[in-house]
Structure 1
Amino acid sequence: MSGRTQNGAARSGTAQNGTDRDGTATGGTTQIFFSATQYAAATVTAAIRAGLFGPRAAHRRILVVSNTAAVPEVGTPLDRMAGFEKLRPEFDEVRSWNEFISPHHPAGWSPRAQDALLWEKAVRLAWNLGDGPVEIACESIQANPSRAVAEIFADSPIHVYADGLMSYGPTRNRIPHGMSSRIARVLHLDLIPGLRPMLLSEYGVEPEPVPNEAIVDVLARIGEEGAGILADRIPAEGRPTAVLLGQYLSAIDLITQDEEEELHVRMLRAAARAGHRGVLFKPHPSAPAVYGRSLEEAAAELGVRLTVLNEPVLAETVFAHLQPELVIGCFSTALMTAAAFYGIPVARVGTGLLLERITPYENSNRVPLTIIDAALPDAEHATLGVPLELGSLSAGLGPLVRTVGYCMQSRKHPGLQAEAAAWLTAHLAEHPQYFKKRRLTSLRLPGGSPIRAESLRRHPAVRRAVRQIRARQS
């Protein structure tokens, strides 16, 4: 097996990993990249082009695409999407995980422990991997198909990459030691300079940013066809000056469909309040196309020229091509890419409602929601049109994010208890929306309810302990 870092995993482009330090191939390492979305594939391609996976000649590279939609058969596979040809040159081969494990669904299947070795042999045979060393680069290691792949290649180093704001939050599920010890790093987009991701940090995994210029260049290349679509759809003289970002909040049961439609109307009214008369609404590609006409009716009432973009165009292509003066959304990562990559002013709508509704407290969307609520101006009340001062955000966001992260996963981050208690003592009165009283009470943190002696006496665990003590004394 290849050499390991402090975390037990080999780093790409080193003598430990099948290459000399001068970049000469010595071991024929195969790097397998797993991607479920076009944006994920763009992120990992940017990391490759930035040199974060070693020299091109030193590795055989395979891109494995998967479709984790509820009904994958009706969707367009990643390798058949417009713009994929711009990513293809970085890889020697492209494989389909859906086809390989058919009829199983990628999101729900993982091998039985006793079958993992057989599956590894099957993959090596089907993809002509031989007996050489393999590295895995995948998205969320907490869920399938990434988890399944990590179990199959039980001796391979793992590189986790994250393309959104969730990387700043804590790991949702426990990772077995045999797997966590193989994770070399977390590659992430540096959307908030200076803010350190919490993802996998409890296992000692270090974060490593993908350079912004690399991801912007990749997005520009794969967005060339989308730019053509925009040029055909939207005349140069009638370009919208504001962009509204839809998500799929009702589809994941955070709010109802009616409430999500009302959220879009609130975004439109906020844009109109800021003086914009040409507005583009971009639904999320995963959102069901079942919305009513409330947005169009509100646009007519406000005298706003509304364009609904249903074509498969990346949000970043919209930002680069239309160069809007304002982007409004709820808590989409695209709000931060608009600010970080293109310098466009951004604003939020509806985060207060979502902070009330989101459950359980450990929900991985909580940290992205917290970041957007804390960092962006309220589109319905604040003065809009001023770009974010990204360089100064991390100083205030860091302690807040770590405090929320501790409350979400206190057992994984016990070292943050003192900082969380100090932050809550100083700032809870100003920012109560990020915390639940019951959670603060259970963690014995400032802002929680006092524990009454009577309720403690009635607690089953306390009563059992008292009985055990009395039994030993008798």
Structure 2
Amino acid sequence: MRHVFEVSTGFGLCGVAAIIDRFDVGEPEDRVLLVMNTVQAFEAVPAVHELPEYAPLLALFGRVVHLNDLIAPEHPHGWSPVPNTHAARLASEQLHAACGIEEDEEHRLWVESIHGTASASLVRLFEHARIAVYADGLMTYGPTRIGIPALVGDRIDEVVHLDLVPGTTPWVLREFEPEYRSFPLDGFLRVLEAVGRVDPPPVDGPVAVVVGQYLADLELLTQEEDAALLRRMIEVATRELPGRPVLVRAHPKAAAHATAAVVAVFVAEGHDVRLLPTGGLVETLFTAVDVGLVVSCFSTALFTARAMGLRTVAVGAAAVLRNLRPYQNSNRMAIVLADLLNDAVPLDGGVLRPAETDPALVELVTAMTALSMQPGVLERSIGVHDDAVRALPAERFAVIRRYVTEERLRRLVADLPAPRPSVAGLVRRRAARVPAIRSVYVTARRAREAWAIAVR
């Protein structure tokens, strides 16, 4: 059988290498690496197979195909040949020829994500392929975010994922009931060792590592909010590991000048905060230096560090979650898991909340989050967890309510008990019965409304 592995990132390529090491996926001559370069200006940025650090992994494949060259001048993000057209038939023949697939030859297509435009095009164009979705990040724990045609879904045999949340089964593609298989972190880390380490800075003793993200580019935060989040992460690192250097590893896609400006402020104030190069995978840094703490918002690096036994803190995840639109955004589950399973600190200050350690509660939180995101797609799973949710004591139920609104929960769980009124709510209702207090409240509300109109 021919195996075609679609890859767009170094992290994904390392995941594929770990899968090949773990499972039986043929001999090297049976494997094709189909590379996509998905950065905006891909002409100026090397594709993953062109980077020297990943050269040792290319020996795992008998053939390497660069999709960008095949579809030029189109970009993978916009490449979507219309089904049953001459263009789609030509694209299909071109792909099969490039991958060396003979007519009637059995083949399997491995895609990083079933959601992406290019991946969706590939599963259509390889119309006779069995499909495996390999997942290397946290979004696989969330539900499928787009409608998958039955002609495609019925060909999906399995989801193979890095075991970032042990004991928890992903929700992606549950509607098609594929087999779920995980590959362990230790195999993935062995692959990282093979592709080389991030050059560590000269430092003795433990350090804190701040892993930046690019949430402004994803339109999850404004540029100002993104900078405030990075400042807060560095503040937490200096507070939780006092007197030790803080190494800031920006996301490769983040604006370099914005990260450097935030770091410069801390340096000017006398803190030992160092900005690292963005080359290589950050996980290799975790084994190259003595890491005492890893801080991020909801980066996958929090979970790889956590699995390696390092202390982790998620900063500002709850604030990003509150502003996340649309509700079905595929980052929602990643943010929930980051806030739930790591020590967590609010964006605007406050005390550190310890990580959740009850596996049964983690399972309920992920289930209710997934069902609230895609109740129509996951209709067959609605009601399965009702008894467990209703049996939760108030403080455990409050953990679910932290991530799923009561209104959404009531749509999912039949006969959910009415919530006990809060003390603050009782005080407000009783105060409203006092004419003098009610008059002050009404006056204040009118003043706020008038001010809002005046500043428009």
The separation in 2 between residues aligned to 1:298 and 1:437, in whole angstroms, is 41
Alpha-carbon distance in 1 for matches of 2:389, 2:325 = 21
1:120 aligns with 2:85: no
1:91 to 61, 64, 67: 61
Residues 1:429 and 1:215: Cα distance change in structure 2 (over 3 Å):
closer
- State the number of aligned residues: 406
Distance 2:418 2:382 in 1: 14
Which residue of structure 1 lines up, in the alignment, with residue 303 of structure 2?
336
CA gap of 1:31–1:424, structure 2 versus 1, over 3 A, is: same
2:247 is the counterpart of 1:280: yes
Quickly say closer, same or farther: Cα 1:410–1:84, change in 2 above 3 A: same
TM superposition score normalised by structure 2: 0.83
| Structure 2 partner of 1:271 | 237
Distance 2:358 2:25 in 1: 30
The residue number in structure 1 matching 2:325 is: 359
Specify whether residues 157 and 407 from structure 1 end up closer, same or farther in structure 2 by C-alpha distance, changes over 3 A only. same
Mapped to 2, the partners of 1:52 and 1:396 lie a distance apart of 35
Alignment of 1:114-263 (within 5 A): 114-115=84-85, 116-131=88-103, 132-224=105-197, 226=198, 229-230=199-200, 234-237=201-204, 241-263=207-229
Other-structure match for 2:11: 39
- Evaluate the alpha carbon distance shift between residue 276 and residue 397 of structure 1 in structure 2; reply closer, same or farther with a 3 A threshold: farther
Selected match of 2:369 from 396, 400, 404: 404
Q: How does 1:297-316 map to 2 (within 5 A)?
A: 297-301=265-269, 303-316=270-283
Give the C-alpha shift of residue 383 in structure 1: 6.6
**Superposed CA offset, 1:242-288 (max 9, x none):** 00010011111111111111111111111221224200001011212
Distance 1:430 1:146 in 2: 35
Residue of structure 2 in register with 1:458 after alignment:
none
What SS does the aligned partner of 1:87 have?
Answer: helix
The C-alpha deviation readout for 1:132-191, integer Å capped at 9, x for no partner, is 222111111122221111111111111110101111111101111111111110010011
Quote the Cα distance in structure 2 between the aligned partners of 1:289 and 1:397. Answer: 36
Q: Which runs of 5+ in 1 are unaligned?
A: 1-28, 450-474
Alpha-carbon distance between aligned partners in 2 of 1:415 and 1:329, rounded to the nearest angstrom:
35
The answer (yes or no) to whether the contact 2:298–2:338 under 8 Å persists in 1 is: yes
Partner amino acid, structure 2, of 1:435: V
Structure 1 stretch displaced more, 140-149 or 329-338: 140-149
Looking at structure 1, the residues matched to 46 and 206 of structure 2 have their Cα atoms a distance apart, in angstroms, of: 29
Flag the 1:122–1:448 CA change in 2: closer, same or farther, 3 A: farther
Tell me which residue corresponds to 1:24: none
- Residue of structure 2 in register with 1:21 after alignment: none
Aligned-pair RMSD on alpha carbons? 2.5
Deviation at 1:299, TM superposition (A): 4.4
In 1, Cα distance between equivalents of 2:139 and 2:194: 25
Residue 236 of structure 1 and its aligned partner are, at CA, apart by: 4.0
Separation in structure 2 between the aligned mates of residue 201 and residue 414 of structure 1, nearest angstrom: 10
Contact between 1:268 and 1:299, CA under 8 Å: does it hold in 2? no
Partner residue in 1 for 2:264: 296
Deviation string 1:385-413 (CA, Å, 9 cap, x unpaired) is: x9x79xx5532211110001000001122
For 1:300 and 1:422, the matched residues in 2 are separated by 56
- 3-state SS in 1 of match to 2:117: coil
Q: Does the aligned pair in 2 maintain the 1:440–1:447 contact within 8 Å?
A: no
Report the alpha carbon displacement of residue 128 of structure 1 after superposing the two structures with TM. Answer: 3.4
Shift of 1:61: 1.1
Query: How far, CA to CA, are the matches of 1:98 and 1:256 in structure 2?
Result: 31
- 1:161–1:187: 8 Å Cα contact kept in structure 2? yes
Given that 2:35 and 2:47 are in contact with CA atoms closer than 8 Å, whether structure 1 keeps it comes out as yes
- Distance apart, 1:311 and its partner CA: 3.4
CA contact (8 A) 1:327 1:347 kept: yes
Local SS of the residue matching 1:184: strand
Q: CA deviation at 1:436?
A: 3.6
* TM score, norm. by length of structure 1: 0.80
Tell whether the 8 Å contact from 1:65 to 1:94 is kept in structure 2 after alignment.
Answer: yes
- Asked whether the equivalents of residues 241 and 279 of structure 1 are also in contact (C-alpha less than 8 Å), the reply is yes
8 Å CA contact 1:158–1:182 kept in 2: the answer is yes
